[in-house]
Structure 1
Amino acid sequence: MESVKILSGTAHPEFAELISRNLNIELGKTHCGKFSNGETSVVIGESIRSKEVYIIQPTCSPNVNDNIMELLVLVDAVKRASSKSITAVIPFFGYGKQNKKEKSREPIVSKLIANMIEKSGVNRVISMDLEASQIQGFFNIPVDNLYAEPLIVKYIEKHIKGDRVVVSPAVDGVKRTKLVSDKLNCDLAILDRTTKEEKNDMILVGDVKDKIAVIIGSTADTCETLALSAKVLKRSGATKVYALVSHGELSGNAIDTLNNSELEELVITNSIPIGEKTKQCPKIKVINVAPMFSEAIRRIIHGESMTAQSSKFTIL
């Protein structure tokens, strides 16, 4: 591991510390800040010549654009310091929802971000539960898309007992939800908006009466959809409603929305910094995915297969 160096931006230094600790590698010295005019400033505080460098930086809110720019500047600094290779570890890939054109004259921002990361000098990307599978194809370099689904399944098996039904909160999330329902050997239900104009109701396909409804999603942003989903499920006879999502952005009035919702719990991963939000909302529970990223990095270093690498971890 002497040939490996782990660096962190300012987006989620706690996550980088967890990864470096799991790998028993000291976190590299970097100083990231801003000049008085708002420009990003990056200084690498030690030699990284001929090192395999892993930069930990989720491009998440509340400073999505700053985090992206800081990542690009870090990559440039590392490249000019004669590193052997550069891997961008992006637990949450910002702008992931803008991955296709749905209207005329609309950009595909995910593709733009992929181009910027690749052109900056990154040799490989590690992320988790990308919003859409085509984002991997936006890159011309290797992209390892890790999945939180095995850890989510283990959490459900350990903490949510009873007659369960797994629910997709939207039609485009059925594939992800089906994987979970198959592993839990339980029924699948689907929720979807009635119309684009009517935002206060959803259509339920499936039976949730007298069952524990478990919503599976990708990102919890404002949490309005999750709150509405819980309301519709309880109205349809569900005894309890839980939600498990890969990324918890929790922006805007998300905390108030959660506290006032009929959800029993919202389970998220620590791919995005949580801060004081777990204290503000006791319904939020967090799964630590840093060991999964550490194992992915270890396997890349030693040239091992990445297949099913997340299945070895346990849930406390």
Structure 2
Amino acid sequence: MPALTEPKLISGNANLTLAKSIARRMAVHRGMAVSLVDARVERFNDQEIFVEVYENVRGEDMFVIQPTSNPANDNLMELLIITDALRRSSADRITAVIPYFGYARQDRRAKARTPISAKLVANLLVEAGVDRILTLDLHAAQIQGFFDIPVDNLYSAPIFALDIEHHFKNQMDDVMIISPDVGGVARAREIAKRINAPLAIVDKRREKAGEIAEMKVIGDVSGKTCIIVDDICDTAGTLCKAAEVLVENGATEVHAYITHGVLSGPAVERVSKSVMKTLVITDSIEPTDAVRACDNIRIVPTAPMFAQAILNTWNGTSVSSLFETDTLVPIYEGLYSR
């Protein structure tokens, strides 16, 4: 049954650039003006967060766009408080659009007496009044099971596959997809299947968190254009070390495709000095000025995919259709012509 209300977008401060881009893309798809709901999300002097929504949202289908990236706690609280404001203003349905789901790396108890913070965050979102979640490349797929509400997890693999075919079209025979660890093989294999490329693995062994004791390449990368695929790049230490190991094993070029460019601490400097020719990330996290200025970091937009996913959610049509290449090509309007 078609929706009777229009989808309405509201954003916190975590990634206003992406939120505005999604609104513009929706305006193109709908052939009518789409803008963010007028609201203020501010902090008092003691850093308490205050939200005031200036427009009527009673009975509306609301989409709150807010990645819970750095500062994770502030951005998470903004999302919760915006949701509470909308729920108390009688919004009909609230979808949390979380391009980057913070705390996703704390999805299990790896040691005794440690939390499962991803589950706690899920409980907080549901208790605040979120009706459904729309996110991108969850670090662990089982996080979807932490929620008792619908969770739509979009994937960057189809977009990355299109981007690889576009930028490496004259050397596809030499392209090899690399998983930077054994745990990321499924993610890397998905892209390898889409572009019909072979797969290799960099096996890393840690002595303790933040330190890599040893790296070995499983597979022959000699003469190959290696493309490392992963979901998160934080300090870029592992990524840059993996690139060095691949070159030492005979790779002619090394590139990387990472969904969420956390890029904290010395990450940008490491990438700029790395043997990697390019690091491709999405805009799920607001890029810093340093990231934008880095010559070998390129940003792939996610607004077209999120805009279509929001419209599909509002219309009650398939979101999983966005996993298919034939669906994404027209959405990206010739950016990746085939």
TM-score range, shorter chain: over 0.9
Taking the aligned partners of 1:184 and 1:266, their CA distance within structure 2 comes to 19
SS of 1:43's equivalent?
Answer: strand
Distance 2:282 2:300 in 1: 5
* Letter in structure 2 aligned against 1:174: V
Structure 1: runs of 5 or more not aligned: none
Counterpart residue type for residue 270 of structure 2: T
Confirm or deny that 1:20 pairs with 2:31.
no
TM-aligned CA deviation for residue 303 of structure 1: 1.0
Alpha-carbon distance, 1:243 to partner: 0.2
| 8 Å Cα contact 2:5/2:61 also seen in 1 | no
Query: What's the offset of the Cα at 1:45?
Result: 1.2
SS of residue matched to 2:130: coil
Q: Superposition pairs for residues 153-164 of structure 1, below 5 Å?
A: 153-160=161-168, 161-162=170-171, 163-164=174-175
Aligned residue identity for 1:16: A
Structure 2: how far apart are the matches of 1:279 and 1:91?
19
Choose from 181, 185, 191 the match for 1:180. 191
Structure 1: distance between partners of 2:322 and 2:185: 24
**CA-based RMSD:** 1.3
Separation of aligned partners in 1, 2:61 and 2:88 = 14
- Given the superposition, is the C-alpha separation of residues 279 and 81 from structure 1 closer, same or farther in structure 2, using an over 3 Å criterion? closer
What pairs with 1:189-208 in structure 2 (closer than 5 Å)? 189-196=200-207, 199-208=212-221
Matched residues in 1 for 2:122 and 2:111: separation?
Answer: 21
1:57-95 Cα deviation digits (max 9, x unpaired): 00001x110000010000000000011110000000001
Misfit runs of 4+, over 4 Å: none
Partner residue, 1:280: 293
Preserved contact between residue 3 and residue 50 of structure 1 (Cα < 8 Å): no
Out of 42, 59, 74, the position equivalent to 1:50 is 59
Aligned counterpart in structure 2 of residue 102 of structure 1, from 110, 113, 129:
110
Question: Deviations 1:9-33 (Å, cap 9, x if unpaired)?
Answer: 0001111111111112221011011
User: Contact between 1:200 and 1:228, CA under 8 Å: does it hold in 2?
Assistant: no
Pairwise CA distance, 1:279: 4.0
Deviation at 1:277, TM superposition (A): 2.7
Name the % identity.
39
- Give the letter for the 2:49 counterpart: T
Alignment match, 2:148: 140
Q: 8 Å contact 1:166–1:189 — kept in the other structure?
A: yes
Distance 1:54 1:280 in 2: 31
Give the TM-score, by structure 1 length.
0.97
Displacement of 1:305 in angstroms is 1.2
Aligned length: 315
